[in-house]
């Protein structure tokens, strides 16, 4: 499985990414190993969507990153395909 995720940073900005291993990727963010989020800790996982293959997840990531307004991302948070509430990890 592959995932697209959105993190909300402590400065209110969003980070959009895709990965094959969500647990490892989130650990990288939490420990300051990702350049963008390193200076914006703590981060909160606010969106997670599952995909069958990586190319689909990458296409969706690119689509989300092309949106110019924060409102577009915020509208997506309440969609039924946001599985963040069903994902069992520490989200801090």
Per-residue model confidence (pLDDT) at position 67: 87
The answer as to whether 25 is a domain residue is yes
The answer as to whether 10 is a domain residue is yes
| pTM score, whole prediction | 0.87
For the chain, what is the domain count?
Answer: 1
The answer as to whether 52 is a domain residue is yes
> Please, which residues have CB within 8 angstroms of residue 83's CB and are 6 or more apart in sequence?
48, 49, 50
Per-residue model confidence (pLDDT) at position 54: 94
CATH code at position 80: 3.40.1440.10
Per-residue model confidence (pLDDT) at position 90: 44
The answer as to whether 92 is a domain residue is no
The answer as to whether 91 is a domain residue is no
Contact 57, 16 (CB under 8 A): no
| Cα(64)–Cα(32) distance, integer angstroms | 23
| Cα(72)–Cα(18) distance, integer angstroms | 18
**Domain housing 60:** 2-86
pLDDT in tens, the chain (92 residues): 999 999 999 999 999 999 999 999 999 999 999 999 999 999 999 999 999 999 999 999 999 999 878 888 888 888 888 988 877 544 44
């Amino acid at each position: 499985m592959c995932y697209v995720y959105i993190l909300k940073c402590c400065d209110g900005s969003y980070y959009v990414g895709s990965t094959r291993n969500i647990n490892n990727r989130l650990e990288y963010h939490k420990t300051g190993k990702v350049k963008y989020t390193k200076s914006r800790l703590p981060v909160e996982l606010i969106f997670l969507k599952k995909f069958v293959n990586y190319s689909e997840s990458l296409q969706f990531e690119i689509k989300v990153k092309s949106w110019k307004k924060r409102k577009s991302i915020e509208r997506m948070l309440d969609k039924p395909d946001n599985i963040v509430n069903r994902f069992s990890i520490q989200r801090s």
